[in-house]
Structure 1
Amino acid sequence: MKRIFIIPAIIAALYITSCNKSDILDKTSVDSIDADKFFNTATDLQAYTNGFYEMLPTTMVYTDDANSDNIIQLTVSDRVKGARIVPAASSSTVWSWTDLRKINYFLEHYEKCPDEAAKKKYGGIARFFRAFFYYDKIKTYGDVPFYNKVLTANDPDLFKARDSRKLVMDSVLADINYAVANIPKEVQLNQITKYTALLLKARICLFEGAFRKYHALGDHDKFLEEAATAANELITSGAYKLFTTGGVNASYRELFARNDQDATETILARDFSATFTRHGLSYLMVAPTAGVYGIPKDMIDSYLMKDGSRFTDQPDYQTKGFYEEMQNRDPRLTQTTPGPDFTAYKETTREPVNLGITTTGYRVIKALATRDQWGASNSYNDIIIFRYAEALLIMAEAKAELGTLTQTDLDKTINLLRARAGMPNLNLAVANSNPDPYLESWYPNIKLGNAANKGVLLEIRRERRIEMFNEGLRWDDLMRWKEGLKLEKPMVGMYFPGLGAFDFNNDGKADVFLHAGNASGAPAGTTSIINVNQKRLSNTTSGNFNPLYSTPRKFREERDYYYPLPTEDLTLNTNLKQNPYWD
């Protein structure tokens, strides 16, 4: 049976039923009502902490990659273009503190409940969310003020300066450690458990450890070790395993496209249903005027051949036609973007080729649901927030950065992911003896990592980009690796040797026809007729689709790893200082 998140309205209802209308006007504050008549039972604690779940992302999990180098959307985001500006107010930014006040208010009052088990569990959940809150702040702004209390209007700390990253992250680590130690070991698809806390800890610590290492902030090994330890604890718990239903050619797609998640690999999911709440993700993948999502060719080129060799080692990889480049590749490729024989989820008839709904020619089908869900706001497949595969990637990367990675570690992490896809194992010695120059060209700062493990680190990054594609982690990865300049590299799509007709599925019939204003030569039955005057090619009448041909992109190394603080908050609190070069 599916379980839904309890929304804050339930908490409000509980508050309202605890007093009558005449009482409300006699009280000095809402807080005093809550503290007097709430937090007395396990049910009270559960009801209040259920409201914290609204802090978790929903559809943003599957849309944030469109604001990175993983997906080029119809309207290019300001952060990809390098066009972010200092916001006037905090209302549309991450610089909001409302959620923190709710968490701290709970933590100031929940211990009045006599139920010791409930206090441990829900106190742990509250600290999970405070760690989550500050992790988001740190990776967005760097140093921020740390508050572990509810502020009043006269509190001198209300207008204090930022606290150091070290103080904040040490506090985050303390909070998430408390959550891991006190939230029960349960397998619950829609609720925070010890296992969710372990994965959040691993994610936080990998980000912080890598960010400190590549940005030369120091003290990085501590966080990398914590990341590896947390991931390993989750792995060795045996609570989860990789989802393999459907086999190597279907299980990866099935994991995300199915309507209802289960707790095989999925640790935490947002619950959607045709009857109570829907979202619009599938529409973004199929509508010609909505997201028009396209995967860039450098992502397509990164998928290995089926035998484990590198596609980009082939001398003509850049000019292969669509049908040829899709042959004998990692099966996850055609479970992420349509291959020559693409069928809609749960259907058996080959889908007509349609390049008009993608910026690059390479559509996104990861998490594309059944056809009846393709309308605007009509999808109801569950959204994965945390899954077990991420723990495998975190452990491998953290240990590689620390210099402690072994072949045994790879076999219990990366090679399980490859086995799910029917791919050959990653060999530590072979990878390090022959680093991929193609990947190294993306990540020149890899030289700041563990030199002895450069080759395997590049392969882990390949695996992470492929496995976690379209799950909202790519921007953070580029930021922590200090590879923001990757956004300035070419982001193009499919290659075409010239105008004319093209057979995408090798059946002897044209599927695509490119023209420069006159489509009269298109063969009968062609399903995708494209005017290159509108969908530009890099060399006018040949080359790659070039959706960013008129979009300048600039990443300022000295500035753009952090977001700017809102002007309003800098004015209200003169002890706050703007991030460098955002003045």
Structure 2
Amino acid sequence: MKKNILKLSSVIFTTLLFFSCNNDFLERYPLDEVSNETFWNTENDLMVYNNSIYDRARNDNDVPILMAHDDGFDSNNQSFWYLDEFSDNIAPRHSRHNRYQQVRGGVHNVSSGAQMYGWRDGGWAFVRAINVFMDNYPKALDNGVPEATVNKYVGEARLFRAWFYADKISKFGRAPWVDHELNIDSEELYAPLDDRETVMTNVLADLNYACQWMPAQWGDGNDGAPGRLNKWNALLIKSRVCLFEGTWRKYHGLSDATMWLQEAANAAKEIMDDGPYALYDTNDPENDYQAIHKMKSDLTGVPEVMYWRRYQLGVFTNHVQSYHRGYNGGATKSMVEDYLCTDGLPISTSPEYKGDASLRDVFANRDPRLRQTVLHPDDAARWHWNNGDALRTYPRVSGMGGQTSETGYSICKVYEPTTSHASYNVSDTPAIIMRYAEVLLNYAEAMAELGTLDQAGLDMSINLIRDRAGMPDMTMDVPMDPRYANDGVSALISEIRRERRVELFMEGFRYDDLRRWKQGKKLENPDLGMRWDDANKAEIDPEGKATVKTTLVNGVPYIDVYQGTDWAVPVFDENKHYLWPIPLNAIAQNPNITQTPGWE
């Protein structure tokens, strides 16, 4: 036995000696596993890794940048269609939308943990995933992948990082800028937050890199369909981020506003000059505005749609159409009154305005986009609002049964009956994440803020949007609407802001717009609905089933959506509410993080 053991030991020693002399053998890695050492060799490796970044970005709550309809049941309260509920555009009352109501009413507090669309561990894990890529992509260069090829994917990752950080700065004013992978003992885990200037300087560098290196097409010839973000998307994101930052700095008294505004204008103009996009316009002003928002499933080839998210049965679905109708509360009186009359004048000065004694009067002689956004009583049957039940009339308010709205102004802009009445949580309503109209609006606003906008600039931007809607062109000498005379800006800028509110209604911009313009005090105006006097009640609710409450405006009763609730009297504290508080658990984990000013 001892002899056999000695022989076996000799064999093992000889084998180990041989292996110790064979470095190539020792450096081999498992062939059935992917490891950091064996990855990063090919373009396909870079593409596959970035696919995982897209997958993480699909969680809109953790990573609120792409913003679509989330997935399945979660689409009941997470969709870009709901983001206007933070603002004075939409008035929800459903309990699943309490977060929107709290922020809009100024009654939100410092949270102990993760916030909806705010400071979340999943978001910082997203940054870490990007930085893993940034630390490892040079290996592809070492393995012979051409630099221009590698740079496409680097630009893609840096675009995501810039977009994420821009969102965090817009909400918190500070953030921990990290551009490499951290470990459990990394000093950065316990560092103070970086200031706005530091973070946004890095954001702009990332955006510029992405715009330089990302391809106009990825080679599939179908860049208007869901897939990879392209150069034009990067330029739109840059114009959006830079417009926010430039106007924030201008109206909040910070430096370098002009530089950021010029970057915004330049990025938008590059798309306008060289991009393959155009407004969807079939010379049908009564329908063209809402048409793309009602298209089902596939938006491939729609010239206005720059990026969208596909939903597909058995893969990734939503039920946002049905939730949207029941949960959003309806458009507000403030929103409805911002639509111009057909003569191009506001309701405060136009002789065409018929008033609001009846709902049909509200729609008379108004911008056609109003009827394509808010349900006209005559359109319920035409658009199958009742799913074939012709016995119900509209509007319907709380207490009346059926598809009611809190304000009486039901939103029809995105309503499509087939998907609205589809089986529970398995609808395929697509999400338009970027569209060309925003490019035109960003350009016009940035140029106006710079003081360099002229009539030619209006004609190539705002007036294309107005032409599509069948509305008169805007001119440089547009008169001031008395309702906005105290906003502290020119009549031209006021009208561009109005155009933005109308065109982008329910697409998630209004809350951020009010914050960057330093117009938060507008959120102290109560959210009202339609006129609710005896004549309207007799016509709309003859059986007296409505349970709405009212408040008087110049002696006339209007639906008061939040009367009797915790947010009946909205508050906007200029010292704190332009930014959000950091959750307590984040501060507990890193004592060098200080609370957002005003929220201490």
Q: Do the two structures share a fold, i.e. TM-score over 0.5? A: yes
Choose from 556, 578, 582 the match for 2:595. Answer: 578
1:470-508 Cα shifts (integer Å, max 9, x gaps): 011111001100111111113211113325655xxxxxx
Alignment partner of 2:541: what SS? strand
Q: Residue type of the partner of 1:36? A: E
Choose from 351, 370, 374 the match for 2:417. Answer: 370
- Distance verdict in 2 for CA 1:346–1:277, change over 3 Å: farther
Query: Counterparts of 1:268 and 1:150 in 2: how far apart (Å)?
Result: 29
1:168 aligns with 2:199: yes
1:437 aligns with 2:482: yes
Structure-2 residue corresponding to 1:115? 145
Choose from 534, 546, 549 the match for 1:536. Answer: 549
Correspondence list, 1:95-114, <5 A: 95-96=120-121, 97-113=124-140, 114=144
1:451-474 Cα shifts (integer Å, max 9, x gaps): xxx111000001000000101111
Structure-2 residue corresponding to 1:73? 92
Query: Counterparts of 2:427 and 2:282 in 1: how far apart (Å)?
Result: 22
Query: Counterparts of 2:584 and 2:321 in 1: how far apart (Å)?
Result: 37
- Distance verdict in 2 for CA 1:216–1:192, change over 3 Å: same
Choose from 243, 263, 274 the match for 2:280. Answer: 243
1:246-290 Cα shifts (integer Å, max 9, x gaps): 711111111101112134011110101345332122112333xxx
1:125-172 Cα shifts (integer Å, max 9, x gaps): 000100111011100100112111111222222211111211110100
Q: CA deviation at 1:34?
A: 3.6
When the two chains are superposed, the root-mean-square deviation of aligned CA atoms in Å is: 2.3
Correspondence list, 1:16-165, <5 A: 34-53=35-54, 54-55=56-57, 56-59=66-69, 60-75=79-94, 76=98, 77-90=101-114, 93-96=118-121, 97-113=124-140, 114-116=144-146, 117-165=148-196
Contact 1:68 1:474 in 2 (8 A): yes
- Distance verdict in 2 for CA 1:37–1:397, change over 3 Å: same
Query: Counterparts of 2:231 and 2:526 in 1: how far apart (Å)?
Result: 42
1:385-440 Cα shifts (integer Å, max 9, x gaps): 111110100000001000000000000000000001011100112x1xx2111134
- Distance verdict in 2 for CA 1:358–1:36, change over 3 Å: same
Q: Residue type of the partner of 1:115? A: V
Query: Counterparts of 1:188 and 1:311 in 2: how far apart (Å)?
Result: 38
Structure-1 residue corresponding to 2:240? 203
- Distance verdict in 2 for CA 1:413–1:553, change over 3 Å: same
Higher mean displacement: 313-322 or 45-54: 313-322
Contact 2:354 2:361 in 1 (8 A): no
Structure-2 residue corresponding to 1:451? none
1:282 aligns with 2:330: no
Correspondence list, 1:353-432, <5 A: 353-356=394-397, 357-374=404-421, 376-429=424-477, 431=478
Choose from 480, 485, 497 the match for 2:533. Answer: 497
Structure-2 residue corresponding to 1:12? none
Query: Counterparts of 2:202 and 2:157 in 1: how far apart (Å)?
Result: 14
Contact 1:323 1:340 in 2 (8 A): yes
Correspondence list, 1:537-552, <5 A: 537-539=550-552, 543-550=557-564, 551-552=568-569
Percent of paired sites with the same residue: 34
Correspondence list, 1:291-370, <5 A: 291-314=327-350, 319-343=356-380, 352-356=393-397, 357-370=404-417
Q: CA deviation at 1:211?
A: 0.4
Structure-2 residue corresponding to 1:474? 510
Query: Counterparts of 2:68 and 2:373 in 1: how far apart (Å)?
Result: 20
Query: Counterparts of 1:208 and 1:90 in 2: how far apart (Å)?
Result: 25
- Distance verdict in 2 for CA 1:345–1:196, change over 3 Å: farther
What residue ranges of structure 2 are gaps of 5+ in the alignment? 1-28, 58-65, 70-78, 218-222, 398-403
Query: Counterparts of 1:126 and 1:42 in 2: how far apart (Å)?
Result: 14
Higher mean displacement: 571-580 or 457-466: 571-580
Q: Residue type of the partner of 1:69? A: D
Structure-2 residue corresponding to 1:13? none
- Distance verdict in 2 for CA 1:153–1:462, change over 3 Å: same
Q: CA deviation at 1:110?
A: 1.4
Query: Counterparts of 1:152 and 1:52 in 2: how far apart (Å)?
Result: 19
Query: Counterparts of 2:526 and 2:132 in 1: how far apart (Å)?
Result: 48
Q: CA deviation at 1:62?
A: 1.2
Which structure has the larger Rg over C-alpha atoms? 2
Query: Counterparts of 1:149 and 1:385 in 2: how far apart (Å)?
Result: 29
Q: Residue type of the partner of 2:261? A: L
1:182 aligns with 2:213: yes
Alignment partner of 2:434: what SS? strand
Query: Counterparts of 1:172 and 1:344 in 2: how far apart (Å)?
Result: 49
Contact 1:321 1:496 in 2 (8 A): no
Contact 2:283 2:468 in 1 (8 A): no
Contact 1:95 1:565 in 2 (8 A): no
Q: Residue type of the partner of 1:94? A: W
Please, what TM-score do these two structures have when normalized by structure 2? 0.82
- Distance verdict in 2 for CA 1:346–1:322, change over 3 Å: closer
What residue ranges of structure 1 are gaps of 5+ in the alignment? 1-17, 24-32, 448-453, 503-509, 520-528
Structure-2 residue corresponding to 1:563? 580
- Distance verdict in 2 for CA 1:342–1:574, change over 3 Å: same
1:325-346 Cα shifts (integer Å, max 9, x gaps): 2112111101111123214676
Higher mean displacement: 305-314 or 164-173: 305-314
Please, what TM-score do these two structures have when normalized by structure 1? 0.84
Contact 1:487 1:555 in 2 (8 A): yes
